[in-house]
Structure 1
């Protein structure tokens, strides 16, 4: 299994459709998952440049089309063995996330990496951190 074939984060088609609408309306966006209480445990979508990524935050990857998905360092340590998929469901989430006025909210679905996927990720370079560059 090649390193490039194993990702830490993905997005469902339904969530990608919502994301495309948000990008059309707001321009480039990014996700951040803080792991805080309440809505802080949901992925938050912000216009690119309106959320400052912390030095220790981890870039899990890029989802449709090239949207960065960041996670707080503490949350990453807890979820490092888990593949995350951004999905969307009806309802209101946080007023700070761009999808809130649309009557939907982004959520995370997760599964543990297989042993083979985990081995590939362990052999790969560490994920980029916020201190490494903007993004």
Structure 2
């Protein structure tokens, strides 16, 4: 039986992890996070595929792709699109695959504009504020769905 897929979608500027504001986002790179997710995913019996795009439409396409491929779950760190994208909200609502919203930092401990998430109303849940471990915690939650 083929492994079940967990798709990890990362939004704008997350390609700069490890260099961009390490006091907020930590020193782990997206490749570091991807490697940890792949290792843990394998142990849990899941194939993990990590993608990043600075373009909103690519993230929408990724959500549609998760549905088409029968993914078990999506971990979505939409970055700044979290606070602006009705398109991502609609895309999540348009698919049957559960989506877990992920953030490295705690948006509620930051600027007021970050307190509103357009992703959250359609997400299965949100894990935030644990740095790179937010992704691993989200993966554990996704595996239990």
The structure carrying a bigger helix percent of its residues is: 2
TM-score (normalizing by structure 1): 0.26
TM-score (normalizing by structure 2): 0.25
